[in-house]
Amino acid sequence: MASSKAGSNRPLSPHLQIYRPMLSMMMSIVHRITGAALYVGSILLVIWLVAAASGPSAFETIQSIYGSILGQLVLFCYTWALIHHGLGGVRHLIWDTGRGFDHQSRERLIKGGLIGSIALTVLIWVVVYATHGATG
């Protein structure tokens, strides 16, 4: 086994502390996180569907949990994750055609996805609250 000397001038392997964070790198990480969050949100959706199929008592219990402030916050985040991940998929589909790789186009696609996901999430929730109210 080789011994390491203190103060050695050997180069370090590139890692996160070496690279300057770029928007495309950060959105790639967020895309992976939202993909994982969709698994959790899908489990919550299945719980809701099972409660609906189990009868009024179970459904009322789940509705009270999902209708709480914490439940609404989780559902809001799930909505954003779903939309953001979907728009990221559209961006990757565009890249699969060989388009959008120049710096300006890449930045425009990434910023558009981020702004679009936030705007669409807020729009969906405003429409739902305006048409159904906080309690449905």
Residue 74, classified by CB atoms within 10 Å of its CB into exposed (0-12), middle (13-18) or buried (19+), is: middle
**Structural domain boundaries of the chain?**
23-132
**The predicted structure's pLDDT at residue 18:** 72
**The predicted structure's pLDDT at residue 22:** 86
**The predicted structure's pLDDT at residue 9:** 72
Whole-model pTM?
0.81
**The predicted structure's pLDDT at residue 13:** 67
Looking up tokens 């906080």, which residue turns up?
134
**103: annotated binding-site residue?**
no
Q: Which DSSP state fits 47?
A: H
Averaged pLDDT in 10-residue chunks for the chain of 136 residues: 59 68 89 95 96 97 96 96 96 95 94 97 96 69
Whether CATH 1.20.1300.10 fits 23-132 = yes
